[in-house]
Amino acid sequence: MEAWRRCQWNGHRLATVSSEADSKLLEAAIGASSVKTGPWWIAGTDQGSEGNFIWISTNIPVGFGTGYENFYPDQPDNAGGAEDCMEIGRWGGVRWNDAPCGWKQRYICEQIKGQL
């Protein structure tokens, strides 16, 4: 939630990934940044209903309308019964993993469509 608030504070939102094109944009942004290794928070969470991820930035279910998901193999696994937030880059690349929401780590914001 801290990452979500920080993105909002700057007039952005925590990144959502609804397609392979979105994943490629994230890859390009990471490649152009000074920090090339993750993990980073993105906007997916299943805090409201275990196993049912939504994008908190848009309140839309992950995969809704597109079916797109990009979890690492065997993820999400809710290890320890406490993994409710979505990150990318845990083991390289931009695939998704569920992780404990309280972990302090980098995050990726995106510009809200329609804003400059």
In eight-state DSSP terms, residue 72 is: P
Domain ranges in the chain?
1-111
What pLDDT is recorded for position 115?
A: 53
Task: Indicate the pTM of the whole model.
Answer: 0.90
pLDDT of 116 > 70? The answer is no
State whether the Cα torsion 42-107-89-34 is positive or negative.
positive
What number is the average pLDDT over the span 70-92?
96
What number is the average pLDDT over the span 5-14?
91
CB 12 within 8 A of CB 115: no
What pLDDT is recorded for position 10?
A: 87
| CATH 3.10.100.10 for the 1-111 domain, yes or no | yes
Q: What is the average pLDDT value for the chain, to the nearest integer?
A: 93
What pLDDT is recorded for position 112?
A: 80
In eight-state DSSP terms, residue 79 is: G
Q: What is the per-residue pLDDT across 16-53, written as a single tens digit (0 to 9) for each? A: 999 999 999 999 999 999 988 999 999 999 999 999 99
